[in-house]
Amino acid sequence: MEPNFTNGLTKELRGRSIFLIGMMGSGKSSTGPIIAEILKYKYVDLDLLIEKLTKKSIDKIFSDEGEEYFRDLETQCLQEVIKLPSVVVSTGGGVVLKKENWGILRQGIIVWLDINKEIAINRLNSKENIRPLLNGNIGIKYEEIFETRKDIYAQADLIVKINNEGVKNVAEKILKDLKKRLIIN
């Protein structure tokens, strides 16, 4: 059953897809499926889609073919995903780098999971690192990447500040903010 705070939200969205953007470790992949389930939307994790299509891990794509090749795959997958209505898409953190991708993202609603930097770095440090761009000192790499991207992320339709909340609470926060935003517009 749809929770009270999302009453009518799916209808209000009129099939527009929702793109979750943000830094690595911000929780896009864990929050996305919850939001999709509540909205009765389909769900796509862009990185997983790339891995499925290429039958290679992201790490392996980076090491075998390089970042540019990966970015092209990312755009191609995005072009396919936007053809479907009503999808929650968890994107990879670098999807915002290509101008071309923004033309696609803007067809849906873009939500930035603006996670506290220290919390994200702690999370990423506590897991085995599978992110090629964070090889070496995760904290330093994270800071460098965030500095180059923060103004780009800020162009999202909706910015949701995230601290240490659990995924369900983050999903709830996103949906509440989305509802407020849709009612105002």
Residue ranges in contact with ligand S3P by CB under 6 A: 24, 28-29, 47, 58, 92-94, 131-133
Nearer to ligand S3P, 9 or 28 (CB): 28
| Biggest CA pair distance of the chain | 48
Nearer to ligand S3P, 29 or 86 (CB): 29
Nearer to ligand S3P, 38 or 138 (CB): 138
With H, G, I as helix, E, B as strand and everything else as coil, classify residue 64.
helix
Closest residue by beta carbon to ligand S3P: 92
CA angle 135, 111, 45 (to 5 degrees): 55
Q: Which residues contact 93 (CB under 8 A, 6 or more apart)?
A: 21, 22, 23, 24, 26, 28, 145, 149
In the 8-state DSSP scheme, what is residue 179? H
Q: Smallest distance from the beta carbon of 79 to ligand S3P, in angstroms?
A: 16
Q: Smallest distance from the beta carbon of 71 to ligand S3P, in angstroms?
A: 9
CB 171 within 8 A of CB 34: yes
Q: Is 14 left (phi over 0), alpha (psi -120 to 50) or beta?
A: left
Q: Smallest distance from the beta carbon of 102 to ligand S3P, in angstroms?
A: 15
Nearer to ligand S3P, 52 or 180 (CB): 52
Nearer to ligand S3P, 6 or 101 (CB): 101
Q: Smallest distance from the beta carbon of 14 to ligand S3P, in angstroms?
A: 27
Q: Smallest distance from the beta carbon of 32 to ligand S3P, in angstroms?
A: 10
